[in-house]
Amino acid sequence: MPIVGQKAPEFTTRGVLNGRINDYSLSARKGTWTVLFFYPLDFTFVCPTEILAFSDRLGEFRKLNADVFGVSVDSEFCHLAWTETPREKGGIFGLAYPLLADVKKEISRAYGVLDEGAGVALRGLFVIDPEGVVQHATVNNLGVGRSVDETLRVLQAFQFVAEHGEVCPADWKPGEKTMKADWNQSKDYFAHVK
């Protein structure tokens, strides 16, 4: 897995959006925040719940100058079939962001989320800043999906830190008090919280 604070591993691959197969690369995202998440396989169980949860709230990410990409070890053709399958039949029809193909498992391996024994990616999620630096990384085992709310909260916190240079305490949400990353100045924060 990449170490947080380092450049995210570059990739170029094929992906699917709106019934079209296109080329995608991380370097093309420079200047934009990126939420890159890995999931095990198309046409499965937990995967469509989180894929659609991110899709249904994509507008919230876009307002934060962030793009979302899903990645699995499936081919772009498998992604295409799944995105054309109705939701009531286990599909993800109407998906609003690209699904990227990682058939050779190189991207999953580079991000440290490939379960070599199972041959699929674990549920890794990476928040990458506009300069291509990994600011956040989480990995879930296969049985538990991720939280869109928590991903948005973490994205907003890292954006706040980047813009203001202050740090965000546990469970911080926009509008709440932050603190200076300085021993003496941080006491102002602690004096005002319960």
Q: Which residues are catalytic?
A: 47
In which residue are the tokens 């319960």 written?
A: 194
Residue 1 exposure: Cα atoms within 13 Å on the Cβ side? 18
Which residue stretches of 57-105 are H helix?
A: 58-63, 76-83
Q: Cα–Cα distance between 63 and 60 in angstroms, integer?
A: 5
Residue at 152: amino acid letter:
L
The residue written with tokens 């890159």 in the block is 36
